[in-house]
Amino acid sequence: MKVVTTIEALTTEIQTAKQKQQTIGLVPTMGYLHEGHLTLAQAARAENDVVVMSIFVNPTQFGPHEDFASYPRDLPRDTALAESVGVDIVFAPSVEEMYPQDGGIRIAAGKQATILCGASRPGHFDGVLQVVAKLFHLTQPTRAYFGQKDAQQVAIIATMVRDFNFPIEMRVIPIVREEDGLAKSSRNVYLSESERQEAPAIYEALQLARDHFLATGDAASALIEAKSHIQARTQGSIDYIELLAYPDLTPITAATEQVLVAAAVYIGKTRLIDNCIFTVKEGL
């Protein structure tokens, strides 16, 4: 496995792969890898000749009061884990390498970014699209791998790929969970022991909302049940819980086929997100 830290070195590796007509799988990450990231890499390994994993904590997607400086970083650990699942190239640039100049040009994420996580994090998804577009151009992947845990992010990136004609196949991999249902996340390390015990209530609430909606077709009462579950079982503060048509992230209608139920909850000072996507039963 090769670890490259400059765009020049990455370009050399990509050009070599392209000259050999090899397929390239990209796994974009912010590092501090967990099983969810490794599952993405394993999927990429199974489907491509060359697997590239980016490890870059992207400052443009963090707000002024968010945790950019304290976001966990451990490149030696990450590179060892990446190698263990067959990653061929780790691209781990500095901020200065990724953003040497700022000409002021931005990608605006659009309506999908004004709700859910975007409502409380203005500009966040603009920053996500900025770095993902750069990674797409630099790695020229055949396929790019993302986790369903960031369902809104996946929907927004998929819209960019569609509308801007990126020649990339997006692959979305199901959420990897702990035994008690908590979605694996780099931010889970911030939870105290008692907070960690409360955190699985988020996924429990999402399941309750899903089951209630499938049984009744009533989104409003499904959300009330989910919120009550979290409030009764945690000391957490709910940022949002929503039921929306997926992947458009619009209100549910009679024509809706897939539904996203998503939540963001502060457990202590840690903001946890989770979701599930399900198909509407016939007749609802």
* Residue type for position 90: V
Secondary structure (DSSP) of 194-207:
HHHHHTTHHHHHHH
Q: In 149-166, which positions are buried (b, 16+ CB within 10 angstroms) versus exposed (e)?
A: bbbbbbbbbbbbbeeeeb
Catalytic residue among 37, 124, 212, 229: 37
Is 186 annotated as ligand-binding? yes
Is 283 annotated as ligand-binding? no
Is 2 annotated as ligand-binding? no
Per DSSP (E only), the strands in the chain are 2-4, 24-29, 50-55, 89-91, 143-147, 169-173, 237-245, 258-267, 270-279
- Annotated catalytic residue 137: no
Is 52 annotated as ligand-binding? no
Is 18 annotated as ligand-binding? no
| DSSP symbol at 250 | B
Is 35 annotated as ligand-binding? yes
Is 30 annotated as ligand-binding? yes
Is 19 annotated as ligand-binding? no
Tell me if residue 37 falls in helix, strand or coil.
Answer: helix
Annotated binding site, which residues? 30-37, 61, 147-150, 153, 176, 184-187
**Binding site listing for ATP:** 30-37, 147-150, 176, 184-187
The catalytic residues are 37
Binding residues for beta-alanine: 61
